[in-house]
Structure 1
Amino acid sequence: MRADRLVAALLFLQTRGRVTVAEVAAELEVSERTARRDLEALGAAGIPVYATRGRGGGWELVGGARTDLTGLTEAEIRALFLVTGPWAASPELRTALRKLVRALPAPLRAGAEAASRAELGDATDWSGGRAALAPAPASASASVVERAVVDGVRLRLGHARPGEPVGVRTVDPLGLVSKAGARYLVAGTDRGLRMFRLDRIASAEPTGEPVDRPEGFDLAVAWRELAGRMEERLGAATVRGRAEPGVEGLLRRLFGSRVRIAPGEGRLSIEVEVDGPSPEVVAAQLAGLGARFEILEPPSARTHLATLAAALTTLYGPPPP
């Protein structure tokens, strides 16, 4: 879904009052299915758009037709600019956003501009391939985090990694990033800049204190540094093995740029190297290939896979006679 289409659909609603899906499709030069999906996305982003059925029905904004954006609330403006901000790379979308800002009442313009800068999009996944653009469902605290980023207010944040208890800390929310189907908060902490996945945030409470923003802070630069650290951790260990011919495509889908396959044709097996955060994690990921992949080293990966196999045999093996 293109953010510039959402902006165009909203402007069309504002100027026409009530519209049909067919009219939106004609205006945006898309299919009716795409037009309906865009209208639904506006509602999901917090814009008060609704549909009425029957003769004379259509889609309209709560409150009737308007020729500008002055009827939108502060929360609705924030939601719209957060949706469009991460993907505002095209000149057309940047122009549309500038027009939207000019159409807003003066007291709301600063917030809209802050929201448009609050989030950026990273179009690659953690293995270096193209990323999914649709974000995963966020936690119930996501809206609190978004507001804190835009308003520049410190947060008392509860966050937990998988399998770990929730830890609470005070952070300075500095920006948001959409990457690989997930959203991340970039924040200052007592240990420097850190990233927090929004869908792992258990609680977020504003402290009322202003954010301590580093001088010259640039969200794109900060994200490159944090993402680089993560990519280093993802490639901290290497597992070597051999695989049956024909699984190369599956290995590349699973590991992206973290897998290296020795060239050659007509062999009974292929040599493979896979990078990951630890030998045990890589072994667990390779377990689904069964006998099509044999781990050769390190020994800890073989041991971990043997332990997994024994546990699975105990759970799913045939019952004793």
Structure 2
Amino acid sequence: MNTQRMRNDWGAPPPAHVRGPAPRRRRGRKGLVLLVLVLLPLVFGGWLWFHVDSSINRISAFPDYSGRPAAGAGTNWLVVGSDSRDGLDPETAETLHVGEAEGQRTDTIMIAHVPDNGTPPTLISIPRDSQVPVPGHGRTMINAAFALGGPELLAQTVEQATGLRIDHYAEIGFGGFAGLVDAVGGVELCLDREMHDTKTGQTLQAGCQTLDGEKALTFVRMRYSDATPRSDLDRVANQRKFIGALVEEASSFGTLINPFRTYALADRGAGALTMLEPDGPGDLLSLAWAMRGISSGGVVTTTVPVTDASAHRWDKQKAGELFEAVNNDQPIREDLIVE
């Protein structure tokens, strides 16, 4: 009885042992497809890593100077948001409502501390109007250090004012910040009340909403509003809140599995970032990983303790105790935390 007779009599194909082995070509094709599926993410990841590493703007490592603080426990980042308008054409600058200004200043100054011993990371805002000694320029506002001597003088000013040694540096300007927000598809944020900036005329409605790059920049810069009665103290608190939401969105599953969004985030972020020469994507990822718990309370967030709402003068005792705890990887006492 042949195979054709078997199919005619019972209406079904013969058993596998009668049909013979599957063609080798089909098995080889499946193996090739599997290999491509495994290698493609690895190749994409490797290329993206190289692209980011080669696209980051870099400055020389901070030089040593007499009296520089010794390295403490953990790792300290100086995170700076500058008001640089470099790369912004007049139309984009108008869209972002950033106006015109000569030179560069720091809209945002933060110290991100990543501990070694398992205590929660810490993110400390330094009000830009803080009056501190700026080496070679007397006592003046801390954001003037960046305008007078760039990242190097700002880092030295922060180190001498806090007693903390700065290990890493990350800086981003207006356009880069807005681009990052747009790259992740916007950031969802809930506002308790309407925010209207009397200086720029911009308004953010109350309620939960997705902020694009333009609105996000308005939110983190706003201090002339009924919703920010403490002026710069409220603004730096809003900045920490938004950074937490941005990091959470950037590290979300939906972002990471989307190659187009991942590429846009990495590409825009790298081109907008300024870091130290020895630093690279690995250092940046370690910072982002440590800061991912801002929104959930896994990161201690605070402002340097000040004497009043003007934020011109630090509370020397409390500020000193805060920095000492950070320098030794100790938990931050509640009475040292300024919301």
**TM-score above 0.5, yes or no:** no
Specify the structure having the higher radius of gyration (Cα): 2
Task: Please report the TM-score for the alignment, with normalisation by the length of structure 2.
Answer: 0.21
User: TM-score with structure 1 length normalisation?
Assistant: 0.22
Larger strand proportion, structure 1 or 2?
A: 1
For CA contacts below 8 A with separation 6 or more, give which structure has more relative contact order. 2
